[in-house]
């Protein structure tokens, strides 16, 4: 995973990204209804993909009509302030200690009453590291709603871009997992370090190489990120009957 | 002592032997005759054989004669005096003229009965003549009362009258015949003719019914008959009303048929009558656009020379209800405000949600080489804002305002304004693109909203404050009572920012900003009003989702957001259950001459039954636009009171109710009721001579038509004969010559047998 070379093109893109960021920082009417990612602070390494979140917010602003405030807001999971940010990123690199009871309770309430959480194994672990810790905590937060594979016809794969798989920085698992409450996926979990594919350093270069698909895979990871954000915002809008004929036609 | 006078006789057996003995002896005689015949069967001479058989048979008969001892029983008998019923139709159709400009049908019957009085009196020798009018209950009448009292019955039921006449009258006297006077306009059992069970029932009467048809067939008349329509319909769904228009004497003429709703024309068609007695089917298809109960009327014009004018229109009430609330949600761009409203609407089983989000504008670059990589569809603006707009119960704009030509609705603003004015419901939810923000001002649409933009938005968080109007209004009634509602709103978290607007005159502000003022008044947050026949609601913020999600931050379950939007939708579509005063016409269609009933159910603000509430109901004529009568009453324990109005003139009416409990106003409500101009009886002025003929034929009577010069010779059953005096038996067998004949026959047979060589 090497840092990318600073190019004029990347510098321009990075500068352009600052415009909405600065605009978003102004206390403007409608700001709270905009897309503002919150980040879960836990006992492990939780803050390794903040630039990735900023980047995906910027992409969301650039590619869609969604208005964003891209600076992610970190909160302890026990914080009531979480309830002003319906999109929560829960990432980590390596194992993390067990959540406190207040955190578990608050997170359960957050998810139950309409919050959405994107979980992301930054270490792309499976059965160890972040993955083991996260599964352990999810069993406490939503004991009745176990993580299950997201079927390929789920609306998250068509909420803006038409996608077939769920790549991140890596492609260990072709699909994401979900914890579903009613008909709504309250938690989406990627074991492919999704935000790792989005992350840029301060000079505007991507922080990590993407494997095995290289830059096309990175683009797919960005598109998946936008779809996830769109799903959090629009739920099953793209499952409405009015969209189905056109989507089916495009998928042929 | 005078000997009794016998006027009848009959042949009887005077033998003292019991019946079985007589039968046994008779069998013995038959056997003896048979054996004798058997004994001479080989006789070669046919003449001898026949002579022997004849003599033995004659001797056997003579012996039987002596065994039976026949005699004559002289009797004194008398005939019963049976009944003859004269039945006169007293249904309202007998009030029609018997001929153009002639006397009524009833008067014609009265005149005939007056003329036939001597003939009827002559029948009194053998029969008791009873004269009844039927409506369909039998009541004694006289020719004078027939001429004087108008016929009023709402139905004609010939069969019921005939059945009743068979059972009426004095004691056990049987009916010998019926004289039935009617126009034959039966609208009950014999409506379809003398067929099936009705035919069998007539035959079972066992009495000849002679019919006298009154009235001419060739009247000139237009009538609305056979209205077919459901009792209820779904709002914004098409509905078909079928009517039969019966024209007599209108051959070759075109007549307009109009369907109206409380004075407003809904549809019209023209029918052309091909013959002088023609029935045309007319169907109207229309789409009711409001829920509630309405009076519709199908009518044809009244011509000066028509026999009956009252049957030229026919009213019915139609209850228009919701199926599922069809909500069109148009979203300017995805946001958390949209996400929570969508989540709420999607989980509501009563809502059929159709939504369109602008996911990409012209300035967005999705970074794809082909549109096929995107799941986006074109925004079907013309379809939803023009051709399909009227199919939606509620249209919601959520921060939807675009100035780009490809997304601007400037071309359809007037459609939306008309949609609301004509009975639709509209919600404008604020944000940074509408209500004074953004570049799309939408001036025409804004005319239909209860607020007007009043400057730049205020982004500072604030806690919404309930206005006095909001405390009572069903939209903001999220608690179980006023205090509970007030507490529920106070508990909700502050929301970040408000679009600055000011209420238009006539608007009702339900929630407001506690400090921010516009022209000296607090800026409205939620305002509603009725615009034309429709309703509009404005939510001047894009952050009501805070009530859905942020309200849970402290752990307490809070359903304020769900209740608020649920109430709003129900109020927008005029859900009858949301009113505190429920008014129901009972029944919704009233026959002519019947009282109008109304049931009022009053509830207090917390939706509990309001006992002892003072209810006032006004019967308001839609035709004259004037109140007709007022009734008042107090509700019972269940909050219900039933009031009744004296029979009003035919036409459509509204029942306008209001209620108070003490000084507290319990609100207002209304319903519709149709008072029919004519019942089934008067809707058809036609005479049915063929029915009268069939009745006569099936029962063994004869059919006649009035006028007649006098009472014809009608078939009547003879009265039965009964023995009323003494009887005297006169033996026939005890004559000497019968004995001589018997001995002679036996001797002749004995002599012949010996002569022919038989032992």
How many structural domains is chain A composed of?
1
Convert the pLDDT of each residue in A98-130 to its tens digit.
999 999 999 999 999 999 999 999 999 999 999
CB contact under 8 A, A184 and B339: no
The verdict on B482 and B596 lying in the same domain is: no
Residue B479 lies in a domain: yes
Q: Give yes or no for B555 touching A (CB within 8 A).
A: yes
- Our CA-based measurement puts residue B370 at a distance from the nearest CA of chain A, in whole angstroms, of 10
Convert the pLDDT of each residue in A202-222 to its tens digit.
888 999 999 999 999 999 999
* pLDDT at A25 exceeding the cut of 60: no
Cα separation, B40 vs B688, in Å, equals 74
* pLDDT at B511 exceeding the cut of 70: yes
Helical segments of B316-446, H only: 336-347, 381-382, 413-421, 443-446
Q: Which residues of B touch A230 (CB under 8 A)?
A: 334, 359
Convert the pLDDT of each residue in B404-421 to its tens digit.
888 999 999 999 999 999
- Summary mean pLDDT of chain B: 87
Residue B682 lies in a domain: no
pLDDT bin (cut points 50, 70, 90) of residue B289 is confident
ipTM of predicted assembly, 2 dp = 0.90
B402, B360 Cβ separation under 8 angstroms: no
* Residue B724 parent element (H or E): strand B721-731
Q: What is the pLDDT of residue A8?
A: 42
Largest CA distance in chain A: 51
Which of B343, B399, B553 lies closest to A80 in CB terms?
B553
Assign B52 to helix, strand or coil.
Answer: helix
pLDDT bin (cut points 50, 70, 90) of residue B531 is very high
Q: Which domain holds residue B47?
A: 8-78+725-755
* pLDDT at A22 exceeding the cut of 80: no
Q: What is the pLDDT of residue B683?
A: 67
Residue B3 lies in a domain: no
pLDDT bin (cut points 50, 70, 90) of residue B178 is very high
Rg (chain B; Cα; Å): 45
Residue A190 lies in a domain: yes
* Residue B222 parent element (H or E): strand B221-228
- Our CA-based measurement puts residue A59 at a distance from the nearest CA of chain B, in whole angstroms, of 9
Q: Which of B271, B297, B318 is the last residue of a domain?
A: B318
Q: Which of B289, B318, B347 is the last residue of a domain?
A: B318
Q: What is the pLDDT of residue B738?
A: 84
Interface of B with A in 322-361 (CB under 8 A): 332-340, 342-343, 346-347, 354-361
List A184's β-bridge partners, or say none.
Answer: A181
pLDDT bin (cut points 50, 70, 90) of residue B457 is very high
CB contact under 8 A, A161 and B377: no
Nearest CA in chain A to B400: A65
The verdict on B375 and B434 lying in the same domain is: yes
- Residue B128 corresponds to which tokens in the numbers above? 């008791």
Higher pLDDT, B593 or B332: B332
Which of A34, A65, A113 lies closest to B364 in CB terms?
A65
* pLDDT at A14 exceeding the cut of 60: no
- Our CA-based measurement puts residue B555 at a distance from the nearest CA of chain A, in whole angstroms, of 7
Q: What is the pLDDT of residue A145?
A: 93
Q: What is the pLDDT of residue B590?
A: 86
Convert the pLDDT of each residue in A130-142 to its tens digit.
999 999 999 999 9
Q: Give yes or no for B550 touching A (CB within 8 A).
A: yes
Picking from A228, A237, A241, A252 by the largest number of B CB atoms within 10 A of its own CB, the best residue to mutate is: A237
Q: What is the pLDDT of residue A193?
A: 97
Convert the pLDDT of each residue in B330-351 to its tens digit.
999 999 999 999 999 998 888 9
Which of B365, B373, B555 lies closest to A161 in CB terms?
B373
* pLDDT at B570 exceeding the cut of 50: yes
CB contact under 8 A, A30 and B542: yes
CB contact under 8 A, B374 and A81: no
Cα separation, B13 vs A145, in Å, equals 106
Convert the pLDDT of each residue in B692-702 to its tens digit.
999 999 999 99
The verdict on B99 and B194 lying in the same domain is: yes
Q: Which of B282, B298, B318 is the last residue of a domain?
A: B318
- Our CA-based measurement puts residue B472 at a distance from the nearest CA of chain A, in whole angstroms, of 29
Q: How many alpha carbons lie under 13 Å from residue A31 in its C-beta half-sphere?
A: 19
Give mean pLDDT, residues B123-131. Answer: 84
- Summary mean pLDDT of chain A: 89
Picking from B326, B332, B339 by the largest number of A CB atoms within 10 A of its own CB, the best residue to mutate is: B339
With vertex at residue B87, the alpha carbon angle to CA B697 and CA B218, rounded to the nearest 5 degrees, is 65
The verdict on B271 and B397 lying in the same domain is: no
Q: Which residues of B touch A221 (CB under 8 A)?
A: none
Assign A69 to helix, strand or coil.
Answer: coil
CB contact under 8 A, B339 and A234: yes
- Residue B543 corresponds to which tokens in the numbers above? 């952050």
Q: What is the pLDDT of residue B605?
A: 60
The verdict on B58 and B202 lying in the same domain is: no
Helical segments of B396-498, H only: 413-421, 443-446, 468-472, 482-491
Nearest CA in chain B to A81: B553
- Our CA-based measurement puts residue A153 at a distance from the nearest CA of chain B, in whole angstroms, of 13
Convert the pLDDT of each residue in B228-282 to its tens digit.
887 788 877 888 898 989 898 898 999 999 999 888 899 999 999 998 888 899 9
The verdict on B342 and B361 lying in the same domain is: yes
A239, A155 Cβ separation under 8 angstroms: yes
Q: Give yes or no for B715 touching A (CB within 8 A).
A: no
With CA atoms as reference, report the closest residue to B248 among B305, B202, B290.
B305
Q: What is the pLDDT of residue B236?
A: 77
The verdict on B157 and B232 lying in the same domain is: no
Phi, then psi, of B479 in degrees rounded to 5: -105, -175
Q: What is the pLDDT of residue B533?
A: 87
Residue B426 lies in a domain: yes
Q: What percent of chain B has pLDDT over 70?
A: 95
The verdict on B546 and B432 lying in the same domain is: yes
A201, A207 Cβ separation under 8 angstroms: yes
The verdict on B402 and B543 lying in the same domain is: yes
CB contact under 8 A, A64 and B458: no
Q: Give yes or no for B516 touching A (CB within 8 A).
A: no
With vertex at residue B592, the alpha carbon angle to CA B691 and CA B100, rounded to the nearest 5 degrees, is 50
Q: Which residues of B touch A246 (CB under 8 A)?
A: 375, 377
Q: Tokens 């999704």 appear where? A: A194
The verdict on B596 and B740 lying in the same domain is: no
CATH number at residue B544: 3.40.50.880
Q: What is the pLDDT of residue A21?
A: 42
Q: What is the pLDDT of residue B721?
A: 66
Higher pLDDT, B312 or A157: A157
pLDDT bin (cut points 50, 70, 90) of residue B310 is confident
Residue B648 lies in a domain: yes
Which of A63, A115, A234 lies closest to B334 in CB terms?
A234
Q: Provide the terminal-to-terminal Cα distance of chain A, rounded to the nearest Å.
A: 36
Q: Which residues of B touch A84 (CB under 8 A)?
A: 546, 550, 553
Q: Which residues of A touch B552 (CB under 8 A)?
A: 83, 109, 113
Q: Give yes or no for B552 touching A (CB within 8 A).
A: yes
Q: How many CB pairs under 8 A join A and B?
A: 149
- Residue A167 corresponds to which tokens in the numbers above? 């790549």
Which of A33, A35, A114 lies closest to B542 in CB terms?
A33
Q: What is the pLDDT of residue B528?
A: 95
Residue A1 lies in a domain: no
CATH number at residue B652: 2.60.40.1930
How many structural domains is chain B composed of?
5
Which of B367, B368, B552 lies closest to A113 in CB terms?
B552
CB contact under 8 A, B555 and A113: no
Residue B313 lies in a domain: yes
* pLDDT at A16 exceeding the cut of 70: no
The verdict on B197 and B261 lying in the same domain is: no
Q: What is the pLDDT of residue B746?
A: 86
Q: What is the pLDDT of residue A24?
A: 39
Give mean pLDDT, residues B452-479. Answer: 91
Q: Which residues of B touch A247 (CB under 8 A)?
A: 375
Nearest CA in chain B to A63: B366
Picking from A29, A113, A116 by the largest number of B CB atoms within 10 A of its own CB, the best residue to mutate is: A29
CB contact under 8 A, A162 and B372: yes
- Residue A43 corresponds to which tokens in the numbers above? 């006992």
Please give the DSSP secondary-structure letter assigned to residue B312: G
Higher pLDDT, B461 or B9: B461
Residue B2 lies in a domain: no
CATH number at residue A40: 3.40.50.12140
CB contact under 8 A, A31 and B555: no
Picking from B349, B356, B374, B375 by the largest number of A CB atoms within 10 A of its own CB, the best residue to mutate is: B375
- Our CA-based measurement puts residue B521 at a distance from the nearest CA of chain A, in whole angstroms, of 21
The verdict on B58 and B90 lying in the same domain is: no
Q: Tokens 């672990």 appear where? A: A125
Convert the pLDDT of each residue in A49-94 to its tens digit.
999 999 999 999 999 999 999 899 999 999 999 999 999 999 999 9
Burial of B489 (0-12, 13-18, 19+ CB in 10 A): buried
Q: Which domain holds residue A100?
A: 8-251
Q: What is the pLDDT of residue B43?
A: 81
Q: What is the pLDDT of residue A31?
A: 80
CATH number at residue B207: 3.40.50.410
CB contact under 8 A, A32 and B543: yes
Q: What is the pLDDT of residue B329?
A: 97
Convert the pLDDT of each residue in B640-697 to its tens digit.
999 999 999 888 898 999 999 888 888 888 888 888 776 666 666 678 889 999 999 9
Q: Which residues of B touch A31 (CB under 8 A)?
A: 459, 496-497
With CA atoms as reference, report the closest residue to B605 among B737, B465, B429, B485.
B485
Q: How many alpha carbons lie under 13 Å from residue A99 in its C-beta half-sphere?
A: 25
- For chain A, how are helix, strand and coil distributed in percent, rounded to 5? 40, 15, 40
Q: Provide the terminal-to-terminal Cα distance of chain B, rounded to the nearest Å.
A: 60
Give mean pLDDT, residues B601-628. Answer: 85
């Amino acid at each position: 995973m090497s840092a990318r070379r600073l190019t004029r093109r990347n510098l321009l893109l990075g500068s352009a990204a600052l415009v909405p960021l600065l605009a978003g920082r102004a206390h403007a009417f409608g700001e709270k209804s905009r897309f503002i990612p919150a980040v879960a602070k836990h006992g492990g390494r939780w803050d390794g993909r903040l630039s990735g979140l900023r980047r995906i917010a910027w992409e969301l602003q650039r590619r869609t009509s969604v208005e964003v405030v891209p600076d992610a807001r970190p909160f302890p999971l026990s914080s009531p302030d979480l309830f002003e940010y319906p999109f929560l990123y829960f990432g980590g690199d390596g194992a993390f200690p067990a959540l406190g009871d207040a955190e578990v309770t608050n997170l359960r309430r957050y998810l139950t009453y309409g919050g959405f959480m994107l979980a992301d194994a930054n270490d792309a672990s499976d059965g160890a590291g972040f993955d083991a810790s996260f599964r352990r905590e999810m069993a406490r937060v939503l004991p009745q709603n176990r993580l299950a594979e997201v079927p390929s016809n789920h609306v998250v794969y068509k909420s803006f871009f038409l996608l077939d798989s769920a790549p991140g920085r890596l492609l260990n698992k072709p699909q994401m997992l979900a914890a579903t409450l009613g008909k709504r996926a309250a938690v989406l979990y990627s074991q492919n370090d999704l935000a790792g594919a989005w992350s840029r350093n301060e000079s505007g270069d991507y922080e990590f190489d993407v494997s095995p698909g290289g830059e096309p895979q990175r683009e797919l990871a960005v598109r998946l990120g936008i779809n996830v954000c769109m799903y959090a915002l629009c739920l099953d809008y793209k499952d409405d009957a009015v969209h189905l004929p056109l989507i089916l036609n495009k998928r042929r | 002592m005078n000997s009794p006078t016998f006027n009848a006789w009959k042949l009887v057996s005077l033998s003292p032997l019991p019946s079985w003995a007589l039968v046994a002896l008779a069998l013995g005689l038959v056997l003896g005759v048979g054996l004798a015949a058997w004994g001479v069967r080989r006789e070669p001479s046919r003449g001898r054989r026949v002579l022997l058989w004849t003599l033995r048979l004659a001797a056997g008969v003579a012996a039987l004669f002596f065994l039976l001892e026949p005699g004559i029983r002289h009797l004194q008998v008398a005939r019963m005096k049976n009944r003859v019923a004269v039945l006169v139709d007293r249904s309202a159709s007998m009030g029609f003229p018997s001929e153009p400009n002639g006397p009524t049908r009833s008067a014609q019957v009265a005149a005939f009965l007056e003329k036939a009085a001597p003939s009827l009196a002559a029948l009194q020798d053998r029969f008791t003549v009873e004269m009844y009018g039927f409506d369909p209950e039998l009541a004694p009448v006289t020719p004078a009362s027939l001429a004087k009292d108008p016929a009023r019955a709402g139905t004609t039921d010939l069969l019921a009258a005939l059945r009743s006449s068979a059972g009426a009258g004095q004691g056990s006297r049987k009916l010998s015949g019926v004289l039935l006077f009617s126009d034959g306009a039966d609208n009950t059992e014999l409506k379809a003719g003398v067929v099936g069970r009705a035919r069998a029932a007539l035959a079972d009467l066992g009495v000849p019914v002679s019919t006298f048809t009154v009235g001419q067939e060739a009247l000139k008349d237009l009538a609305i008959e056979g209205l077919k329509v459901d009792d209820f319909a779904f709002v914004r769904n098409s509905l078909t009303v079928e009517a039969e228009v019966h024209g007599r004497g209108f051959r070759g003429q075109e007549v307009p048929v109009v369907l109206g709703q409380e004075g407003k024309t809904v549809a019209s068609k023209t029918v052309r009558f091909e013959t002088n007695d023609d029935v045309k089917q007319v169907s109207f298809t229309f789409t009711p656009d409001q829920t509630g109960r309405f009076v519709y009327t199908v009518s044809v014009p009244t011509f000066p020379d028509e026999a009956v004018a009252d049957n030229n229109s026919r009213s019915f009430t139609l209850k228009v209800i919701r199926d599922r609330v069809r909500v069109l949600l148009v979203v300017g761009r995805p946001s958390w405000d949209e996400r929570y409203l969508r989540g709420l609407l999607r989980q509501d089983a009563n809502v059929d949600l159709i939504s369109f989000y602008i996911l990409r504008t012209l300035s967005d670059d999705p970074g794809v080489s082909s549109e096929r990589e995107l799941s986006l569809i074109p925004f079907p603006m013309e379809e939803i804002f023009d051709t399909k707009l009227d199919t939606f119960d509620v249209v919601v704009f959520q921060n939807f305002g675009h100035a780009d030509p490809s997304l601007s609705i400037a071309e359809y603003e007037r459609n939306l304004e008309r949609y609301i004015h004509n009975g639709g419901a509209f919600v404008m939810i604020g944000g940074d693109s509408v209500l004074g923000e953004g570049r799309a001002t939408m001036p025409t649409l804004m005319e239909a909203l209860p607020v007007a933009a009043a400057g730049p938005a205020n982004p500072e968080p604030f806690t919404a404050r309930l206005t006095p109007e909001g405390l009572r209004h069903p939209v903001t009634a999220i608690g179980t009572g006023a205090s509970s509602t007030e507490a529920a709103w106070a508990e909700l978290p502050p929301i970040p920012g408000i679009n600055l607007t000011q209420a238009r005159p006539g608007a009702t502000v339900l929630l407001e900003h506690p400090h921010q003022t516009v022209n000296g008044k607090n800026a409205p947050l939620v305002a509603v009003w009725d615009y034309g026949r429709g309703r509009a609601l404005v939510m001047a913020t894009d952050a009501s989702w805070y009530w859905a999600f942020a309200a849970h931050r402290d752990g307490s379950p809070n359903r304020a957001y769900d209740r608020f939007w649920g109430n709003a939708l129900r109020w927008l579509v005029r859900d009858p259950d949301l009113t505190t005063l429920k008014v129901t016409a009972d029944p919704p269609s009233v026959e002519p001459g019947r009282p109008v009933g109304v049931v009022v159910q009053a509830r207090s603000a917390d939706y509990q039954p309001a006992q002892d509430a003072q209810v006032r109901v006004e019967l308001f004529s839609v035709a004259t636009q004037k109140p007709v009568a007022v009734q008042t009453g107090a509700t019972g324990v269940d909050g219900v009171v039933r009031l009744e109005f004296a029979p009003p003139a035919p036409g459509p009416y509204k029942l306008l109710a209001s209620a108070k409990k003490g000084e507290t106003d319990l609100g207002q409500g209304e319903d519709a009721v149709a008072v029919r101009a004519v019942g089934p009886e008067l809707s058809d002025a036609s005479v049915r001579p063929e029915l009268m003929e069939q009745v006569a034929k099936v029962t063994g009577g004869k059919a006649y038509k009035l006028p007649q010069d006098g009472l014809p010779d009608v078939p009547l059953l003879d009265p039965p004969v009964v023995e009323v005096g003494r009887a005297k038996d006169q033996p026939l067998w005890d004559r000497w010559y019968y004995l001589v004949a018997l001995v002679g026959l036996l001797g002749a047979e004995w002599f012949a047998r010996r002569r022919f060589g038989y032992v």
